[in-house]
């Protein structure tokens, strides 16, 4: 009961903050809401006993990526609303398409979870067990044995993206 209550409170807060992120007037406020959102997602991971993932979530998303967002947002002048870039009809059309995609996703997820029946026992049982149980080692083990190739592919992808970004920036400077 307690964990269900905790989960639904967290989920409501996360969704509410998500709405705040897209509806805030100032871009910096959006980014701030996003930080709190990420921190709450980390709390959700802690309740699922995934403390390593929770800490990485804070370190990478809340502490790293969003700092870069802020950096960019502060450099760009967002004082005038970007109306002159937006064509209301095109906005409505793309909104319609995006909404349709999200709706389809929700339908697929809900129907597949309904077909699978109720969630198996113990899905949310992490709450209350000691925080020191430890899963960093298991995670590393699985990552470097069963999922070695996806892991290496992901890191290659990141490397390529990094080199690509440097090449693009350098070409701009050189000419």
Residues that bind another protein (CB under 8 A): 26, 28-29, 32, 35, 39, 51-52, 55-56, 58-59, 62-64, 67-68, 70-71, 74-75, 131-134, 136
Residue nearer to another protein on the CB measure, 7 or 61: 61
Residue nearer to another protein on the CB measure, 14 or 24: 24
Q: Return phi, psi of residue 81, to 5°.
A: -65, 145
DSSP label at 130? -
Length of the chain: 175
SS3 146: coil
Q: Measured from the CB of residue 23, what is the shortest distance to another protein in angstroms?
A: 16
Q: Measured from the CB of residue 35, what is the shortest distance to another protein in angstroms?
A: 7
Answer for the pair 61, 38: CB distance below 8 angstroms, yes or no. yes
Whose tokens are 């002159």? That residue is 84
Answer for the pair 32, 2: CB distance below 8 angstroms, yes or no. no
Q: Measured from the CB of residue 134, what is the shortest distance to another protein in angstroms?
A: 4
Q: Measured from the CB of residue 27, what is the shortest distance to another protein in angstroms?
A: 11
Answer for the pair 66, 31: CB distance below 8 angstroms, yes or no. yes
Q: Measured from the CB of residue 59, what is the shortest distance to another protein in angstroms?
A: 4
SS3 79: coil
Residue nearer to another protein on the CB measure, 112 or 132: 132
What token pair was written down for 87?
């064509």
Residue nearer to another protein on the CB measure, 101 or 148: 148
Measured CA to CA, the distance from residue 81 to residue 134 in angstroms comes to 48
Residue nearer to another protein on the CB measure, 79 or 90: 79
């Amino acid at each position: 009961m307690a964990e269900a209550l905790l989960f639904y409170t967290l989920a409501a807060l996360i969704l509410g903050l998500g709405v705040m992120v897209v509806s805030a007037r100032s871009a910096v406020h959006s980014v701030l809401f996003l930080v709190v959102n990420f921190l709450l997602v980390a709390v959700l991971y802690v309740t699922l006993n995934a403390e390593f993932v929770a800490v990485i979530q804070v370190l990478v998303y809340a502490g790293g990526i969003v700092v870069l967002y802020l950096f960019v947002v502060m450099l760009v002048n967002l004082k005038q609303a970007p109306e002159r870039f937006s064509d209301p009809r095109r906005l409505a059309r793309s909104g319609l398409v995006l909404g349709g995609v999200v709706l389809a996703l929700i339908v697929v997820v809900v129907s597949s979870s309904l077909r699978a029946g109720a969630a198996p026992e113990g899905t949310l049982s992490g709450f209350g067990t000691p925080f020191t149980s430890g899963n960093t080692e298991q995670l590393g083990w699985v990552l470097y044995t069963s999922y070695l190739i996806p892991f290496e592919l992901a890191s290659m992808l990141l490397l390529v993206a990094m080199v690509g970004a440097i090449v693009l920036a350098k070409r701009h400077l050189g000419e």
